[in-house]
Amino acid sequence: MSVFSAALPPHGGPDAAGVPLHDFSTNSNACGPCPEALRAVQQADATCYPDPAYTALRESLGAFHGVAPERIVLAGSASEFIHRITALAAQQGVRAVALPAHCYGDYPQAAQARGLALLRPPDAGSAGLQWACEPGSPQGLADPALGRWAQAVAGVDPAVPPVLRVLDCAYAPLRLDGAAWPGPSATSAPCWQLWTPNKALGLTGVRAAYAVAPPGSGAQVRALAALAPSWPVGAHGVAMLQAWVQPDVQRWRAASLVTLAAWKQRQLALCERLGWAVQGGSLANYFCALPPRGMQERDGAHLRAAGIKLRECTSFGLPGWVRLGVRSPAAQQALEMAWRARAPSAEKKDV
């Protein structure tokens, strides 16, 4: 492992060995890529700079969410926005960041890079920057922070500096529980909403995201713009985000959820056949499972050699568990065959 890769937070997806043939380690929509969105990206004019103000794109995204374009902040990716808004929080005097019990590694990485303390429930309420993810990763569960936010806002003290709250909506478009599409009122507490459509569209290689600012946050919007590099989103990212708001693309997304729900049930049944304990309650196209005796390093190496990658959850604070993105029946069959093909000694240890 290089010094550079060792410094990076763990991620799913391709690694030094290349693109896995059957990649359960990412939560990207396995029905993707969305044909209309892919076509838009392929036809993007990469010979020109985008409009540096992203005027048309912000108007489209604002209309999609029912807010003024001035409340849309473009970002190079969700990770870029996480680092930028954390930098803003530090600039404004925040000293601690509240995190979900288990969460995406860029939240703590961005905070630690700026010397901010990390707080988790039940001590998170005093932090000046607070994160929630709905549904959360890696478990796909509802985030209890939203309820705490609503209670905190109801009893807000005008003498206390305002809290910066960010709701990560990365997986909201991939909810499989039949919930209505979340809009600007996804939580009753004013908060930023961070959207990354590339997962729902099956185009995670296209790096582009945006945030919807809460009402009355014009000063923070301007401060974030001042912290951003020029053209944070390139031509291909602009094309993907413009496609995201189109009715045909949203119809494709909705139809894909039906397929993913059926595949998820097959995958849950596969885990049961393999003797893996499954954590229930996941609302999304992924869930956590615990192989017998936990995921061992030799298991991960064997599966990776067979073209299969799982997301081991030690970095999430769940050692031995794996997060599995829902994949096609063919990929599930490959996982079952590879798992059962482990050395007999490994099987005996798991009994």
Over residues 135-146, the pLDDT tens digits come to 999 999 999 999
Q: What is the pLDDT of residue 290?
A: 97
Q: What is the pLDDT of residue 124?
A: 74
- In angstroms, the CA 132 to CA 235 distance is 30
Q: Given a cut of 90, is residue 253 above it in pLDDT?
A: yes
Whether the bond into 69 is cis, omega within 30 of 0: no
> Per-residue confidence at 297, pLDDT binned at 50, 70, 90?
confident
CA 256 from chain centre, in angstroms, equals 18
Maximum average pLDDT range among 2-6, 13-17, 151-155, 274-278 = 274-278
Q: What is the pLDDT of residue 3?
A: 46
> Per-residue confidence at 14, pLDDT binned at 50, 70, 90?
confident
Strands 286-290 and 277-278: antiparallel
Q: For the chain, give the number of residues.
A: 351
Q: Which residues of 198-209 are buried (b: 16+ CB within 10 A; e: fewer)?
A: bbbbbbbebbbb
> Per-residue confidence at 303, pLDDT binned at 50, 70, 90?
very high
Higher pLDDT among residues 157 and 69, named by residue:
69
CA 325 from chain centre, in angstroms, equals 12
Mean pLDDT of 150-162: 62
Mean pLDDT of 33-61: 98
Whole-model pTM: value is: 0.91
Mean pLDDT of 92-119: 95
> Per-residue confidence at 235, pLDDT binned at 50, 70, 90?
very high
Q: Given a cut of 90, is residue 79 above it in pLDDT?
A: yes
